[in-house]
Amino acid sequence: METPFAVSEDGLCGHVYAGKVFFSRECVLAVSNLHAGKYDVSVEPYGEEHVEITIYSRDGSPVREEMLRRVMNDLVDCQVKMDLQKEFGALRDRIVEYAFAPVRKS
Amino acid sequence: MSGYTLLPFQFCRTGRDEVLLVSESGDFIFLPEAVFERFIRHELSEQNEDFFRLKSHLFCAGEDVEVALQKTAARYRTRKSFLREFTALHMLVVTLRCNQRCRYCQVSCAEKDAAMYDMDEETAVRAVDMIFRSPTKHPKIEFQGGEPLLNWDVVTAAVIHAERLAAAQRKKVSFVLCTNLTAVTRDQLEFCREHDVVVSTSLDGDRSLHDACRRDRQGRGTYEAFMEKLALAREVLGPDRVGALMTTTSFSLSHLKAVVDEYVRQGMDGIFIRALNPYGFAAEDEAELGYDMERFVEKYLEALEYIIELNKKVFFPEQFATLLFSRMLSPFATGFVDLQSPSGAGIGGVIYDFDGSVFPADEARMLARMGDRHFCLGNVGTDSYADIFAGEKLGNLTRGACLETSFPCAFCAFQAYCGTDPVRNYLETGKEVRNMAHSPFCIKHRGIIMGLFDMLRRADDMTMDIIWSWITHNAGLVHRL
Ligand code: SF4
Ligand code: SF4
């Protein structure tokens, strides 16, 4: 896919195409939720290898390419965060355990 | 690939080819994007200067992972030490009556003579008994209203009973009287002096800004009466025993510098620039009094720049920035019930309504006043300490009110500095837990924290001295002109 995003319906609707090899289901849903407070967002499969995130303007203001680029960046960051979370999640649990160990003893 | 271990952190991009990393204990570091990418792929050379910074700030560890985890845990424990003070702040609503009728009154105060809204002495004594069942060694009792001066006998009875219990249990109790001051008498102030009661009052700015909202029951401004009684209170108690808070409305939003000037002119020892809360009369009149949170953030940050400039001449902290800077720059514990995780509702602060009903936060009581008792934890007349404080309701509320499990807070770089507000969430969405993205709470805190980081990046030595003087409350740190 050449450009991972597009605008339609006279600018009132934006589409971001996320490759399944790069982005997990959780990541796509998390980023959709991130923008759901401001836009109407839906997620659908798009061919074998992609999912399509569709973003509708709620108040008639245009969905600009810059906004879609931001969604794409959010996907990248969110996936990095989720991967990092897997990497140091167990360490985080240990920190909390150590931190509250004196409380547990008392 | 290098052999270091990444320790837990959150990050966000600043938009300047830089990434801000914040560790589990709230320490932060800025990295160029390219360095960040190498770092998370374990490709950063351990001889690299940035690597040394990352390691010393506990973003990664070499072979000493256990030591690094224990150091982080010690800092984390300090940050969460407010949990040890279960429950420190107890607010007693001794009456809903008020001699004023402020336009934004969040408790929808009652007429001055509506005596059915008074707490009786028996209820006050039971509430104080319950306060002293809390494990905290330092209970703070705040008398609120309405106007607590209108039910003065109950205030004095509660103070005296609390002092007795404190002596018997070897606890250190402190008192705050939240009053508009306009009805205060010298005798009442003398009682406050004798019993070490601190006064917290309200000042919204100069005469025109103050009178825009803070009015008596006939709709007249209260600035003059307030100033007269402020002088009396300072004379009897001393200036350091009388503090003031302001509430920002649409009238003052574009005039925050004038508000700051008035605070300085009146010799206040700092200011807390507070946004309007959408409860009570403020909710009814939101169209006129309210504003977008984005605008509040913009004006707040402008005012903060002004206050920093001012501090080159006089020590005058902005208290919300002080709290956040303290969380960003120091390992000190900062208890602030309105901004902590788990939420301070019920475990950091609790409120006893005039009829003995117990709520986990002032806003929950305001919600009840608006007709929704969803958050009522029980009543001091009918329920035990265990029913109220160890009950399912507070347990569920606290479990759900953690940033670490909220969206998108669990992945937010500002998690270590921010907090949750389940009552506000409920008011806005009908649920205690919500998607925080684009919520006014998130817009405000994200915007302000980003603004403070920006300020830190640009800060010269003088600005850093000013910020540290606020955090340490040491005016002498700044060499003033
Ligand atoms: S003084 Fe306080 S309680 Fe009274 S009307 Fe004003 S805001 Fe409400
Ligand atoms: S409320 Fe917003 S700023 Fe605060 S932690 Fe959550 S996402 Fe971050």
The pLDDT tens digits for B411-454 are 999 999 999 999 999 999 999 999 999 899 999 999 999 999 99
DSSP string, B107-129: T-PBPTT-GGGBPPHHHHHHHHH
Ligand approaching nearest to the C-alpha of B249 = 1
B84 — pLDDT class (breaks 50, 70, 90): confident
Average pLDDT for chain B? 95
pLDDT value at position B157? 98
Compare all CA atoms of chain B with the CA of A77 and give the residue at the minimum distance: B12
What are the tens digits of pLDDT across the range B52-75?
Answer: 999 999 999 999 999 999 999 999
pLDDT at B334 over 90: no
B166 neighbors B172 (Cβ within 8 angstroms): yes
Selection from B377, B419, B331, B326 nearest residue B87 by Cα = B377
Instruction: Write the residue with the smallest CA distance to atom 7 of ligand 1.
Output: B105
Paired tokens of A37: 């407070």
**CATH number of the domain to which A28 belongs:** 3.30.1360
Task: Select from B8, B80, B437 the Cβ nearest to the Cβ of A92.
Answer: B8
Assess if residue A29 is contained within a domain: yes
Pairing mode, if any, of strands B140-144 and B89-93?
A: parallel
What are the tens digits of pLDDT across the range A15-58?
Answer: 999 999 999 999 999 999 999 988 999 999 999 999 999 999 98
**B67 in contact with chain A, both atoms CB, cutoff 8 A:** no
Assess if residue A104 is contained within a domain: no
A106 — pLDDT class (breaks 50, 70, 90): low
CA distance B355 to B368: 12
**B469 in contact with chain A, both atoms CB, cutoff 8 A:** no
- Give the pocket of ligand 1 (CB within 6 Å): B 98, 100-102, 105, 107, 109, 145-147, 180
| Ligand 1, atom nearest to B104 Cα | 7
**A37 in contact with chain B, both atoms CB, cutoff 8 A:** yes
What is the least distance, in Å, from the CA of B239 to any CA of chain A?
40
Selection from B291, B15, B318 nearest residue A77 by Cα = B15
Q: Evaluate: CB of B340 within 6 angstroms of ligand 2.
A: no
Q: How far from B478 is each of B217, B328, B469, CA to CA, in Å? A: 45, 20, 7
pLDDT at B154 over 80: yes
pLDDT value at position B437? 93
CA distance B270 to A22: 51
What is the least distance, in Å, from the CA of A99 to any CA of chain B?
5
Please list, in sequence order, all residues whose beta carbon lies within 8 angstroms of the beta carbon of residue A105, skipping any fewer than 6 positions away: none
pLDDT value at position A1? 65
Assess if residue A65 is contained within a domain: yes
What is the count of structural domains for chain A? Answer: 1
Residue span of the structural domain in which A30 resides: 5-99
pLDDT value at position B264? 98
Average pLDDT for chain A? 91
CA-based angle B194:B195:B197, to the nearest 5? 110
E strands present in B154-291: 174-178, 197-202, 242-247, 273-274
**Where does chain B hold its CATH 3.20.20.70 domain(s)?**
86-291+345-388
Q: Evaluate: CB of B416 within 6 angstroms of ligand 2.
A: no
The model's pTM:
0.94
Q: Which CATH architecture has domain B86-291+345-388?
A: Alpha-Beta Barrel (3.20)
Assess if residue A105 is contained within a domain: no
Compare all CA atoms of chain A with the CA of B412 and give the residue at the minimum distance: A81
pLDDT value at position A103? 67
**A-interface mutation test, from B66, B69, B79, most A Cβ less than 10 A away:** B69
Instruction: Write the residue with the smallest CA distance to atom 4 of ligand 2.
Output: B418
